[in-house]
Amino acid sequence: MREVFQKELHEVQERLHEMAADATRIMEHASKAFIRSDVTLADQALASADQMATKALALDELVIRILAKQSPVARDLRILVSALRISASLERMGALAGHVAQIARFRYPGSAIPESLRATFVEMGALDVELGRKTEALLKDPNVDLAKSIQAEDQRVDELHRSVFETVLGDDWKENAIFTVDVTLASRYHERFADHVVDISSKISYLSTGEWNDSI
């Protein structure tokens, strides 16, 4: 029975890793679509984002079956409860990346970004993709030090997010209302994507130490 349980736990871990890879790929495609006005990449990101909900539901059902059959305690219980919450964060990351792609899709063949903010979104997208890859690594091989290192990159995304708002609220901002709405929403989606990575890193640290730390 214990061997079956360990196999089931391994399957949960593998599915979480797969979802993290999906979310990262969606953001990578969405960011490029947003920056380049690439409708093909936008459509790919949107299709993949739609699939994330199905994968999250299937994973949640697996975890609930394991909880019902095995009645785990202590660390095993923490793993499964955390898996449910991590699954929700990963699904949301995919959805947020899909929202970025959707903006690019709506504005095609035009651009959703004025030239003055292009560099900001290039950096923000690259940071989100890197954070997604670190999430993949964490779910493949949990590491508290890597979980803690994510905080610095998230802080940079927050700084970029604030800079977008400062720009659109500044006296020098002369772009039309569509640009204002697009960049404000896209910035928020990028920022929330990174926030979910931080949330996942906190859960990974909790799995490793048994201690919850909101500052991670």
**Each residue's pLDDT tens digit, 195-210:** 999 999 988 876 765 5
The vertex-142 CA angle with 32 and 154, nearest 5°, equals: 40
Cα torsion angle, 126, 44, 85, 205, sign: negative
At 216, is the pLDDT very low, low, confident or very high (cuts 50, 70, 90)?
A: very low
Distances (CA, A) of 210 to 50, 70, 77, 151, 181: 34, 20, 11, 20, 42
CA–CA distance, 190 with 127 (Å, rounded to integer): 9
What pLDDT does 208 receive?
63
Task: Give the pLDDT score at 143.
Answer: 78
Q: Quick check: 94 and 192 in contact, CB under 8 A?
A: no
Res 70: pLDDT: 86
Of how many residues is the chain composed?
216
**Is 151's pLDDT higher than 80?**
no
Quote the distance between the C-alpha of residue 103 and its chain's center: 17
The pair of three-digit structure tokens given for residue 154, joined into one six-digit string = 């998230």
State the chain's mean pLDDT as an integer: 91
Q: What's this model's pTM, rounded to 2 decimal places?
A: 0.92
Share of the chain above pLDDT 90, in %: 75
